[in-house]
Every structure is written in structure tokens, then in C-alpha cells.
Chain A
Amino acid sequence: MSEAKFKPGARVKVMKAYPLGHVRTPYYIRGCTGTVERICGAFPNPEELAQMRDGLPKLPLYRVRFRQKEVWPDYRGNEDDVLEVEIFQHWLEPA
């Protein structure tokens, strides 16, 4: 298993990439910056599993918290409303 690069509280940016294939990083969150809420554990890479491969080594999976106002600039609601998304480590870079 790959080691977890980010700790809870770390600021991270989701890569703005558009690879083909089965990807579990939603489009709308690519390029956004958030905070690691927790490390969920390590899981096989779904992009590899979709190709009938074993997805190993397992990759750290994070739950990242984003402020709605930063994801959607015209967001209407509480300033503190947040969105939490599970993102695999290879989609994250330090922010």
C-alpha cells in the first residue's frame, strides 16, 4: 500500500485532469481546493479495477471538505455550508 501523503487538516487541490476511462473523481470538483477531513483507509484503484486489473497497491482514500462558496461562486446558502467528497491520493496535490 502507498503511504498517506496528507494528514487531516492539510490543504489539498484536486487535479484538473480529464483522463479517459472509469474515474471516481467527479468533474465538478476537479481543480477545487479543500481540506482533508479524514483518511478513510486504503483501497484498490478503481481506475485499474475497471480494466479488470487488481488495482494494487492500494491507494490512500481521503474525505476532503470543500466550502460550497469556493466550489460554486454563486452558491446561495450559509457561508459555512460544505461539501465532502472521497478522493484518491493520486488526484490530490498540496495546496
Chain B
Amino acid sequence: MKEDHGNYRPLSYFQLMELSLRELLVEKGIVTNEQVDATVEDMRNRTPERGAKVVARAWVDAGFKQRLLENGTKACEELGLDVPALKLLAVENTPQVHNAIVCTLCSCYPRMLLGIPPEWYKSRNYRSRMVREPRAVLAEFGLQIPQTTQIRVHDSTADMRYIVLPMRPAGTEGWSEERLAALVNRDSMIGVAVPKGPND
């Protein structure tokens, strides 16, 4: 690694605490540095592209979509995505129903498919208002849901994890899975946005 002397900053309180705790755990033989590195690597590899792959497959394969809605965890295994221990529930957006996800108690999030949650997802503002006035919150994200569409807010309070299966954008007939996956952004799988259109 290239040495960089220009960017030195003292460790923050939490960085120092993490470092001390890790050193102690290694010293006591509870974990090894290699295990810590492998776990960090694994967490870094989890990005919203994984979720986008699942959504794109559901858009092109009706059988897969059916299996995904019935048992999200099992369907993800078909794509080689391991969703350990927790059960994944995919909730489908239709012209009549719009789904959105929140965890009012903490920040439960489908990390295995979307990676690390964005800051706003963990904020008190989002967590407290999303269950109380979802239409106003979605409007702040730039998403206007028609009054005639039902909104279903899912509070992720216990052992389930949720992913929104957004509607496939019009004008994408015949597109490949890869091309479709590129339209699926993280926020559309949380339900605070819709996927990009073919011309966006």
C-alpha cells in the first residue's frame, strides 16, 4: 500500500474503541485478524446490486417471482445469494398498492441484499414519521403516491426482513436482466422511490 503522510488524522473515540476491543479479542484468542478481515470484506461485498439482481430476475421470470413472493429466502438461494438466519419477505408493488419499509425500533434492514443502510433510514425523523404520515415522507423523497393507491408500510420489528419488488418501468420490453438491473436503485427496494425509467 502506498504510504500517505498527508491525510493523518487522530483516531475518533469510536475508532479507538473499535481498535482496542479488536486487539483485546485477538490477544485473548477469541477471534483472529484474518476472521475480522474476512467479515469486513464480506460486508463490503453486500451492495444494492445484489437486490437489483433479484428484482430484475423477478421481472423477467414469472416463476421466479412467484417463488420469491412465497419464500424470499429460498428464491435468493437460487441466485446464489445466502440470506442467513433471517427470513426475507418480498412485497410487490402494483398499480393499486405501494409498499415501503421502516424499522421504528432500530434499523433492521435487508443488509444481505442492500448492504449497509443509509443514514436517513436510521434517523429518528424517518423512523417515527414513516408509520405516522408515510405520504408526506414519500413526498419529501420526491415520490407522489396517488390518493387512490393504497400504501402499505412494513415495520420491520422482529425476525423478518423486507424488500420491495418495484414495478417494472414501462418501455423496457425485451430488455436483458443486466440492463434491467441497472434501473433498480436502492431506494426503490426500500419503497421511497421507483426505479429509473428507460430514458433516465
Contact = CB atoms under 8 A, between A and B. Distances in A.
A41 interface: yes
B105 A26 contact: yes
Nearest to B130: A83
B87 A40 contact: yes
Nearest to A59: B158
B150 A81 contact: yes
Given A24-B105, A26-B104, A41-B87, A81 B134 contact: yes
Nearest to B149: A78
Given A41-B87, A77-B151, A78-B151, A83 B131 contact: yes
A85 B155 contact: yes
B12 to A, nearest CB: 28
Contact of A86 (B135, B149, B155): B155
A18 interface: no
A45 B160 CA distance: 14
Nearest to B153: A83
Contacts of B153: 81-84
A49 B150 CA distance: 36
B150 to A, nearest CB: 5
Contacts of B150: 78, 80-82
A94 B142 CA distance: 40
B157 interface: yes
A32 B132 CA distance: 14
Contact of A84 (B134, B135, B152): B152
A25 B133 CA distance: 20
Interface in B139-162: 147-160
A75 B153 CA distance: 14
A77 B157 contact: no
B159 A43 contact: yes
Interface string A66-85: 00100110011110111111
B133 A40 contact: no
A76 B158 contact: no
B157 A85 contact: yes
A13 interface: no
Contacts of B135: 76-77, 81
Contacts of A71: 131
B160 A28 contact: no
Contact of B148 (A46, A78, A83): A78
Given A68-B151, A82-B151, 11 more contacts: A24-B105, A24-B157, A26-B155, A40-B158, A43-B158, A77-B151, A78-B147, A78-B148, A78-B151, A81-B152, A84-B154
16 contacts: A28-B104, A28-B132, A40-B159, A40-B160, A61-B158, A72-B132, A75-B133, A76-B135, A78-B147, A81-B151, A82-B150, A83-B152, A84-B153, A86-B155, A86-B159, A87-B158
